[in-house]
Amino acid sequence: MLAELAFFATVAAYAAASGLFFTYLARPDGSPRAAKAAPRVLAYATILHAGYVYLASILANVCPVKSIHFVASIAALLASALYLVLRRRFSIDAVGAFVAPVALTFVLGARFVGRPDQPVGGGFLALHVTVNVLGDALFLLASGAAVLYLVEERRLKQKRAASVFGRLPPLDALDRVEHRLLLMGFPLLTLGIVTGAAWAHRIENGSAAEGARALFAFGTWIVFASVLVMRAALGWRGRRAAYGTIAGFIFAVAVLVVYLVRGASGGST
Amino acid sequence: MIVVVGLSHREAPLHVRERLAVDGEAVEALLRELVASSEVSEALCISTCNRIEVYAASNSKTQADTAKAARRVEKALDDLARKNGASGVVPYLKTYVEGEAVRHIFRVASSLDSLVVGEPQILGQVKSAYETAKTVGSVGQFLERAMSRALHVAKRVRTETAIGEGQVSIASVAVDLARQIFGDLAGRSALLLGAGEMAEGAAKLLVKAGAKLEVVNRSPERAAILAREYDGVARAWEELESALVSADVVVASTAAKHFVLTRAMTAKAMKARRGRSLFFIDIAVPRDVEPQVNELDNVYVYDIDNLSNVVADSMRGRKAEADRAESLVEHEANNFEGWAESRGAAGTIAALRTKVRSSLVGELEKSLAGRLRHLGDADKKAMNAMIEAAVNKLLHVPISRIKASAGEPNGERLVEAIRQLFDLSEFPSEVEAAGDASSEPAEASSVPTLAQRETARR
């Protein structure tokens, strides 16, 4: 009952935070009140979310990273916690406009996937899930920065600069934070793929979903690797890096979706 | 009659305006050429980065002659563009005549026609254009009056409305844009290419924000002076390409007639920069940076129009003040028209009648209050009729002659002579006296007849 209450409060808080972030970005005057309230509401949402995950996992007597039900939810929780920690340091307040609605989608999506008390695998799998979830959280934030970068870059190129003044973070800051988040997420992704491959090798069930997931996972790795290599070698920053980051994130989400859908359909691990 | 011919940011995009970019000497030559022609008697030229306009007055009041004067100015401007190696400006030229022309001059001086309404620079530019015309000797009574009234209106607009408050300068917007791209500007490198007044302003703000300054100028001496002034480094013109690799913000304002920074040159620099963002602030007219440079990845080019638009966009809520200023301008323009009318034949005739009648009525009143105190109403009425008849008889010939010569070159001289002989300049017309009570002697111009006074007394 308490867990249910926490769930709905989390959803409401994420929705409110999303609304406030959009108001802040969409209103012509920048709505200073919304700008101030949005990160605060997102912080409440994150606390409620953590409370919900804690209560629900206690209730189901399962470690959250060992349950399909919690995976997407935890990725969102980590992303929004990371945002709250990094937003001042990198002055990326506006990225919240991406984090809040995506977190809302993940929390709602996870609700319909699997049951909380449906644990999977052993300790090795827990490591695999943990690094992947952390990596996804970082990629989520990075692609948030990438989306904002593209919006702002377009406005500046089209000389509609007045609409972004003081509202969106500086372009270079977005590019830099996106790059750093990728640098942090990439080793986690690599580790996730290595552990995933080892685990898949062990069970060798060779299902179509298994194949698709591996394919998307390698796709994610290749896209992010190319973004990082091209940036280092050829100076591909800004727009190209942003498109690459978003493409990589779409692959990462595809992995998650395959994982969740398969989990929901009750397939064994 | 006053005509205005020219183009501004309203009619002509930057690539057209830059075809008509002129320096001080060219303006003086243009004014001399115009007043030497038979169609134009007075001329003044305003040349800013947002407009080039010629304010001219013709000797005659007829519409045909005004049209001729306008065409003469059009031709002069077209010749100017051709001298700059361009053509095709004529379709962009806009012409205002008479009342419209005066209204336009007043609106320009009051900064109501500026891209950024309320910006303060235009008044200085109008003043200096007026000074130049005075030095050349190309202004006469009409433009002199129009310009002094325009400056007066601009002052009123500035002091009586809040139109100029909270002004954002182009330079500060340029620095805000740089911040939007780079974030903190401390340690960034700014390149000053050429040295216009506004460019120096932007460079000063960039240095204040912590940027290091490099100066590249065709004249090494000028570069050295600027570098010293802003604690920067002067580099030779030949080093421009390498300076482009190290700079983050480039403020361009050279007097070059062609693009100084091309797409190919910038693309090469971007390769060497490994994609680091580069921001061009191009305040030059004609422009220094090829527009296609903006298409390159991570390169942002803002020219004077782009910057002005950002300024205009970032200042909202000025409509009410602008409306107040517009009505002020309208009021003053009506006053001017009244004055101009009074300088014409009809106005002079009315002023002459009023002056003569008021002198006679004044004398009669004195007598009626003294020696002729015993006269009855019927006698007074007869005296009044006598005065009216005397005025008509006395003025019949002069008035007929003024009317007959109206529209002819001689007519203007005749009107002027009458005004001088009867001292009509101190006799403002009805419109002027009533409309501008604050700055002009509020003398009642239409003197009531004796009969009217009698009625009022009763």
Q: Do B183 and A236 touch (CB under 8 A)?
A: no
Output DSSP code: residue A236. -
Q: Compute the nearest-CA separation of A164 from chain B (Å).
A: 8
| CB < 8 Å to B276, chain A | 235, 237
Retrieve residue A210's tokens.
Answer: 């298994």
B146 versus B416: the higher-pLDDT residue is: B146
How large is the average pLDDT for residues B16-30?
86
Residue B458 has pLDDT above 80, yes or no: no
φ, ψ at B306 (rounded to 5°): -60, -45
Q: Which residues of B are catalytic?
A: 49
∠B93-B96-B100 over CA atoms, to 5°? Answer: 150
Query: What is residue B29's predicted lDDT score, i.e. its pLDDT?
Result: 92
Give percent above pLDDT 70 in chain B: 89
Strand, coil or helix: A119? strand
**Looking at chain B, how many residues does it have?**
458
Pick from A159, A170, A237: CB nearest B180? A170
- Residues paired with residue B301 on neighbouring β-strands, in sequence order: B280
> Is there a contact between B273 and B250 (Cβ–Cβ < 8 Å)?
no
Q: Compute the nearest-CA separation of A49 from chain B (Å).
A: 33
Among A88, A165, A177, A227, most B C-beta atoms within 10 A, so best to mutate, is: A165
Q: Do B182 and A170 touch (CB under 8 A)?
A: yes
Residue in chain A lying closest to B184 (CA)? A170
Q: Compute the nearest-CA separation of B182 from chain A (Å).
A: 5
Q: Give the separation between CA B48 and CA B53, rounded to whole angstroms.
A: 9
pTM to 2 decimals?
Answer: 0.68
Ordered alpha helix ranges (H), chain A: 2-26, 32-60, 68-89, 96-111, 123-157, 171-203, 208-234, 239-264
Pick from B176, B275, B294: CB nearest A235? B275
Would strands B299-303 and B189-193 be described as parallel, antiparallel, or unpaired?
unpaired
- Contacts of residue B42, defined as CB under 8 A and 6 or more positions apart, other chains included, come to B35, B56, B57, B138, B139, B140, B142, B143
Residue in chain B lying closest to A90 (CA)? B183
Retrieve residue B342's tokens.
Answer: 């009074």
φ, ψ at B256 (rounded to 5°): -60, 145
Q: Do B310 and A161 touch (CB under 8 A)?
A: yes
φ, ψ at A39 (rounded to 5°): -65, -30
Q: Give the separation between CA A41 and CA A29, rounded to whole angstroms.
A: 21
User: What are A's interface residues with B at a Cβ cutoff of 8 A?
Assistant: 28, 91, 152, 156-157, 159-165, 168-173, 234-240
pLDDT interval class at B444 (50, 70, 90)? very low
How large is the average pLDDT for residues B6-25?
85
- Residues paired with residue B261 on neighbouring β-strands, in sequence order: B289
| CB < 8 Å to B274, chain A | 234-235, 237
pLDDT digits (tens, 9 = 90+) for B215-236: 998 888 888 888 888 888 999 8
| CB < 8 Å to A28, chain B | 316
pLDDT digits (tens, 9 = 90+) for B184-201: 888 899 999 987 777 788
Query: What is residue B110's predicted lDDT score, i.e. its pLDDT?
Result: 92
ipTM over 0.85: no
pLDDT digits (tens, 9 = 90+) for B92-123: 999 999 889 999 999 999 988 888 788 888 99
A12 versus B202: the higher-pLDDT residue is: A12
Q: Give the separation between CA B146 and CA B200, rounded to whole angstroms.
A: 33
| CB < 8 Å to B273, chain A | 235
Residue in chain B lying closest to A238 (CA)? B298
The listed range with the strongest mean pLDDT (A202-211, B77-86, B263-272) is B263-272
The listed range with the strongest mean pLDDT (B10-14, B384-388, B404-408) is B384-388
Q: Do A165 and B306 touch (CB under 8 A)?
A: no
Secondary structure of chain B in HEC code, one letter for each residue: CEEEEEEECCCCCHHHHHHHCCCHHHHHHHHHHHHHCCCCCEEEEEECCCEEEEEEECCCCCHHHHHHHHHHHHHHHHHHHHHCCCCCCHHHCEEEEHHHHHHHHHHHHCCCCCCCCCCCHHHHHHHHHHHHHHHHCCCCHHHHHHHHHHHHHHHHHHHHCCCCCCCCCHHHHHHHHHHHHHCCCCCCEEEEECCCHHHHHHHHHHHHCCCEEEEECCCHHHHHHHHHHCCCEEECHHHHHHHHHHCCEEEECCCCCCCCECHHHHHHHHHHHCCCCEEEEECCCCCCECHHHHHCCCEEEEEHHHHHHHHHHHCCCCHHHHHHHHHHHHHHHHHHHHHHHHHCHHHHHHHHHHHHHHHHHHHHHHHHHCCCCCCCHHHHHHHHHHHHHHHHHHHHHHHHHHHHHCCCHHHHHHHHHHHHHCCHHHCCCHHHHHHCCCCCCCCCCCCCCHHHHHHHHC
> Is there a contact between A18 and A99 (Cβ–Cβ < 8 Å)?
no
Q: Do B300 and A173 touch (CB under 8 A)?
A: no
Tally A–B CB contacts below 8 A. 62
Residue B244 has pLDDT above 50, yes or no: yes
Retrieve residue B110's tokens.
Answer: 């009051």
b/e for B254-279, b at 16 or more Cβ within 10 A? bebeebbbebebbeebbeebebbbbb
| CB < 8 Å to B317, chain A | none
CB-based contact, B188 to chain A, within 8 Å = no
Residue in chain B lying closest to A230 (CA)? B274
Q: Do B273 and A235 touch (CB under 8 A)?
A: yes
Retrieve residue B25's tokens.
Answer: 């000497």
Residue in chain A lying closest to B183 (CA)? A170
Residue in chain B lying closest to A157 (CA)? B300
Of B140, B149, B124, nearest to B44 (Cα)?
Answer: B140
Pick from B183, B271, B309: CB nearest A172? B183
Residue with tokens 């040295």: B195
Strand, coil or helix: A170? coil
Stretch 291-320 of chain B: residues touching chain A, C-beta under 8 Å = 294, 297-298, 300, 302, 306, 309-310, 313-314, 316
Retrieve residue A122's tokens.
Answer: 């052993």
Q: Do B181 and A162 touch (CB under 8 A)?
A: no
Give percent above pLDDT 90 in chain B: 31
pLDDT interval class at B126 (50, 70, 90)? very high
Q: Residue B37's Cα: distance from chain center in Å?
A: 23
Q: Do A91 and B277 touch (CB under 8 A)?
A: no
Q: Do A234 and B182 touch (CB under 8 A)?
A: no
Per-residue pLDDT of chain A (269 residues; tens, 9 = 90+): 788 888 899 999 999 999 988 888 776 666 778 888 899 999 999 999 999 888 888 887 777 666 666 777 888 888 899 899 888 877 778 888 888 988 888 888 777 766 665 556 666 677 777 788 888 888 988 998 999 999 999 989 988 876 666 678 889 989 998 999 899 999 999 988 888 777 766 655 667 777 788 888 889 999 999 999 999 888 888 899 999 999 999 999 888 888 777 654 544 43
> Is there a contact between B348 and B419 (Cβ–Cβ < 8 Å)?
yes
> Is there a contact between A243 and A267 (Cβ–Cβ < 8 Å)?
no
Q: Do B306 and A173 touch (CB under 8 A)?
A: no
Of B356, A4, A15, nearest to B364 (Cα)?
Answer: B356
Q: Give the separation between CA B356 and CA B422, rounded to whole angstroms.
A: 9
Retrieve residue B128's tokens.
Answer: 């200096």
Among A155, A159, A176, most B C-beta atoms within 10 A, so best to mutate, is: A159
A253 versus B457: the higher-pLDDT residue is: A253
Q: Give the separation between CA B48 and CA B56, rounded to whole angstroms.
A: 18
Q: Compute the nearest-CA separation of B231 from chain A (Å).
A: 26
> Is there a contact between B135 and B24 (Cβ–Cβ < 8 Å)?
no
pLDDT digits (tens, 9 = 90+) for B62-77: 778 888 899 999 999 9
- Contacts of residue A192, defined as CB under 8 A and 6 or more positions apart, other chains included, come to A128, A131, A132, A135, A217
Q: Do B177 and A156 touch (CB under 8 A)?
A: yes
> Is there a contact between B7 and B52 (Cβ–Cβ < 8 Å)?
yes
> Is there a contact between B80 and B15 (Cβ–Cβ < 8 Å)?
no
